[in-house]
Amino acid sequence: MGKVTLFIAQSADGYIAREDGSIDWLRDGADEDYGYEEFFQMVDTVFMGRKTYDHIFELAEEFPYKMKDVYVVSNTREGHDDYATYLQPEQILPLVNMLKNEQNKTIWVVGGAKLIHYFISAGLIDEYRIFIQPTLIGKGIPLFQKHDHEEELQLTETNAYPDGMLAITYQREEQHH
Amino acid sequence: MGKVTLFIAQSADGYIAREDGSIDWLRDGADEDYGYEEFFQMVDTVFMGRKTYDHIFELAEEFPYKMKDVYVVSNTREGHDDYATYLQPEQILPLVNMLKNEQNKTIWVVGGAKLIHYFISAGLIDEYRIFIQPTLIGKGIPLFQKHDHEEELQLTETNAYPDGMLAITYQREEQHH
C-alpha cells in the first residue's frame, strides 16, 4: 500500500513561511539536505497547488519534478500541460485513494499552505516528516491551520542535526494496527 | 546568573489548550512525569497570570507552589496574599532582570497563554523546554502567538519518551557567546 507524506520545514514557532509567503529565514539545504534527496528518490507522485506550481517556474531554470507524476490542483485550469495534470479540488480524494490503494504510490504533498491544510484537515496525511529550524520568526503562515479533525499520531523517528535542525517523523496510528 | 524557563506541553499542531482553555487531551503525567519533578526542584520563582492562579485553587486541594516565590500578574489586585505577591504588567521586566541578574534565580513562567505571550514577545525566555504530545487537536490556543520579535535559538537537547512525547530544549543564542 502506498502512502501520503508531508515532508516540510517549519520555524520553531510553527510557521512554514512569512505572511507574504517568503522563506528567506529558511536554511537553503546547501550544506545539509536533511535527507531530502533520499526521500525524493522514493516519491512517485507530487501534489501541489496552482500558485506553488506557477511559482516554481519563476524560481527554477529547470522544472525539478520532471521525473515524477505531477498533479496541480486548480479551480480554473483543466487537462494537462508539459509537466503536470490539472485537477479540481473534489478530485483529490478519489485520486489519492486510487494512487495509494491500487497503485501503491508514494505521494508527496509539496504545498502551498492551502493544499497542505486540505490534506491535513481531511486526515489524508499518513506520514508527517517535519523539520523544525531553531528560529523564531514571530509571525507567518502556520503549518497547522484551524480545523475539526483530531487524531493520535505515532512518533517513529527523531533526528537532531548538528546545525540544530530537528527532524520529527510521525505516522498515523492506523498504519500500526 | 539566573534564567527564565518556559516548561510547557503542546499538541503536535502547536496548541497548549483547546479554545475554551481545557487540556483534557493532555496526558496527565501519572505514568511518566517527563522530568517535571527534577525541573521543579530547581525552580526558585514562578510567574503566572491571575486567571491561572485563581484556577489552581479550583483544581488543587493544596497550593502546589508553596515552597516557591510566587508572582501573580494582575491589573487590578495589589500587595500580596498568603501565597503570592501581585504585580502589574509593567513591573515584570524590572523584576525579572533583578531576580535573574542580581539574585541568580531560576524562574518558571507557568502560564497562562497571555503571560507566556508577553514573555516570548519581549524576548525574556532564556530556555524553552517544550514537550510535544503526538496528538493533533485541530484548533486551540497556540503556544506561539503573533509578534514582532525574531530570534535564533540553540537546540541543546531532545528526548523522545517511549509513549511518543518529545521533549525539546532550546537556549537563547546569547547564552552561548
Each residue's pLDDT tens digit, A30-77: 889 999 999 999 999 999 999 999 999 998 889 999 999 999 999 999
Share of chain A above pLDDT 90, in %: 92
pLDDT of residue A59: 87
Name the residue type at position A158.
Answer: T
Q: With contact defined as beta carbons under 8 Å apart, do A78 and A86 qualify?
A: yes
CB atoms A164 and B153 under 8 Å: yes
Query: CA-based angle B126:B150:B170, to the nearest 5?
Result: 35
Number of C-beta neighbours around residue B173 at 10 A: 13
Residue A122 lies in a domain: yes
> Tens of pLDDT along B44-99?
999 999 999 999 999 888 999 999 999 999 999 999 999 999 999 999 999 999 99
pLDDT at B176 over 80: no
Name A128's bridge partners. A6, A170
CB atoms B146 and A139 under 8 Å: yes
Number of C-beta neighbours around residue B169 at 10 A: 18
Chain B residues near residue A143 by CB distance under 8 angstroms: 13-14
pLDDT at A114 over 60: yes
Residue A75 lies in domain: 3-18+32-149
Alpha carbon distances (Å) from A28 to A9, A36, A148, B122: 11, 12, 33, 29
Residue A48 DSSP SS3: strand
Q: What does the pLDDT average to over B135-143?
A: 98
pLDDT at B177 over 80: no
pLDDT of residue B119: 97
CA atoms of A57 and B129, how far apart (whole Å): 41
Chain A residues near residue B125 by CB distance under 8 angstroms: none
pLDDT of residue A173: 80
Cis peptide before B112 (omega within 30 of 0): yes
CB atoms A136 and B153 under 8 Å: yes
Chain A residues near residue B13 by CB distance under 8 angstroms: 143-144
Name the residue type at position A45.
Answer: T
CA atoms of B123 and B118, how far apart (whole Å): 9
Identify which of B138, B147, B170 has the shortest CB distance to residue A138: B147
Distance in Å, alpha carbon of A89 to nearest chain B alpha carbon: 21
Distance in Å, alpha carbon of B172 to nearest chain A alpha carbon: 10
Count how many domains chain A has.
Answer: 1
Distance in Å, alpha carbon of A148 to nearest chain B alpha carbon: 5
Identify which of A120, A137, A152 has the shortest CB distance to residue B135: A152
User: What confidence category does residue B7 fall into, taking pLDDT thresholds of 50, 70 and 90?
Assistant: very high
pLDDT of residue A174: 66
CA atoms of A175 and A167, how far apart (whole Å): 20
CA atoms of B18 and B138, how far apart (whole Å): 9
Distance in Å, alpha carbon of A67 to nearest chain B alpha carbon: 32
pLDDT at B147 over 80: yes
User: What confidence category does residue B107 fall into, taking pLDDT thresholds of 50, 70 and 90?
Assistant: very high
Chain A residues near residue B121 by CB distance under 8 angstroms: 138
Mean pLDDT across chain A: 95
Chain A residues near residue B147 by CB distance under 8 angstroms: 138-139
CATH number at residue A36: 3.40.430.10
CB atoms A148 and B137 under 8 Å: no
Identify which of A136, A147, A168 has the shortest CB distance to residue B149: A136
pLDDT at A103 over 80: yes
CA atoms of A35 and A49, how far apart (whole Å): 24
